[in-house]
Amino acid sequence: MELRKWGTAAALAAAFLVAGCGDDKPKTAQRPVEVGVVEMTPHDVGLTSELPGRISAFRVSEVRPQVSGLLKKRLFDEGGDVRAGEQLYQIDPERYAAAKASAEADLARANATLKSVRAKAERYAELVRINAVSRQDYDDVTASLDQAKADVKAAKAALDLARIDLVYTRVNAPISGRIGKSSVTEGALVTANQTAPLATVTQLDPIYVDLTQSSLALVQLRREAEAGRVDSGAGELKVDLTVEGDTRPYPQSGKLQFSDVTVDQTTGTVTLRAIFPNPNHELLPGMFVRATVSRGVSRNVLTVPQKAVVRDAAGGASVWTPGDDNQARLRPVTLSRLVGKDWVVEGGLAAGDRVIVDGLQTLRPGIPVAPVPAAADASKVASR
């Protein structure tokens, strides 16, 4: 029994000795983690804004009669294109032709009266010098001459009005564009300047796109331009368009014309208006669209890919860097705007710094890393 106890104690001592000898061996160094990095290089970045919008007609004109009468003809196809000055309707002209003939007769009568009175006034002018007629008779004939001249002018004005009314029996297109449906048919009675239009003509080429943008974003852009961080250029800003429900972009670019001078109090937005060529009438009033507006260029800025940015619980942004000793470090950065898939860096990084973009899943502060160039340098965003 005593012998068994001594054997057990010897075995335990041998085990502790072996364990102690194992602790004296050096620990194995941690193998560096291979990570993909990009080097921060200043470059120009094209700034764009994607905004919602709606198509608006360039011009809209309602066709109304300017004289009353019975509608004799409709001379256009509904939904077709018409030219400015093209006849659309014909109102019964007989009454207005008769009024014109009557006005012409009144003018002829007034001219004949004027001729007679003028001759009488000329004779009285000679006779009053030799006292063959009284001064009163001469004054009367002179007044009659002035009245005859006024009658001629009134008859001419009446004739002009009659001619205008006769012309207005032809209802012409006020602008070029596409005409909608007619609200009347032949035989309808129309009245001058009636409330309901006979038809509506809409000019579709060019066409407007009304966009809405946050007033805060507009103020920020202006401040950056004033500070020299954004070059807006001297020309008109380019706008590209995608129609809702269509994956293909509209084939032609437009230009931004103006920004509204007031802010919508309910939404806090301003309206931007762009103009687009629309030769094939693909864009129609009322359509919803998404527009990409080129707002200028940020010169010599640094950008980091979205996937390289790490957010903390408070929303602060940081990026992993290998450091000069190739050990992973988390560096806080200040970001301004998202351009494509990259963030524009305002602070925390300098030109020449390296940022880890691949292999972020296994990183912890202080672990050794083996930096290699990333497959694609996504830190550079081409100007659009």
Name the CATH topology of 33-45+300-373: 2.40.420
Domain 93-168 - what CATH class? Answer: mainly alpha
For residue range 243-270, what is the model confidence (pLDDT) as tens digits? 887 778 899 988 887 776 677 778 878 8
Give the residue-averaged pLDDT of 171-191: 94
d(CA 209, CA 229) in angstroms, rounded, equals 29
pLDDT grade, residue 202 (50/70/90)? very high
* CATH classification for the domain delimited by 68-91+169-202, as one of 3.40.50.620, 3.30.70.60, 3.30.465.10, 2.40.50.100: 2.40.50.100
How many Cβ atoms are within 10 Å of 311's Cβ, its own excluded? 9
Q: What is the rounded distance in angstroms from the CA atom of residue 207 to the CA atom of residue 283? A: 8
Query: Which structure tokens are listed for 178?
Result: 């596409």
User: Could you read off the pLDDT of 39-70 as tens digits, one per residue?
Assistant: 999 988 877 778 888 999 999 999 999 999 99
- The residues facing 259 across adjacent strands are 272
Helix, strand, coil in percent for the chain, rounding step 5: 30, 35, 35
Query: Distances from the Cα of 356 to the Cαs of 209, 331, 342, in angstroms?
Result: 42, 11, 14
Tell me which CATH homologous superfamily contains domain 48-58+204-297. Answer: Efflux pump adaptor protein, beta barrel domain (2.40.30.170)
269 or 18, which is more confident: 269
The confidence score (pLDDT) of residue 375 equals 77
**All structural domains of the chain with their residue ranges:** 33-45+300-373, 48-58+204-297, 68-91+169-202, 93-168
Residues 6+ apart with CB under 8 A from 342: 303, 304, 305, 306, 378, 379, 381
Q: 330: exposed, middle or buried (C-beta count within 10 Å: 0-12, 13-18, 19+)?
A: middle
Q: Distance between CA 168 and CA 66 in Å, rounded?
A: 6
pLDDT tens-digit series, residues 26-35? 445 678 889 9
pLDDT at 380 over 90: no
The per-residue pLDDT for 150 is 96
Tens of pLDDT, residue by residue over 334-370, are 998 788 788 889 899 999 999 999 988 888 888 999 9
pTM (2 d.p.): 0.64
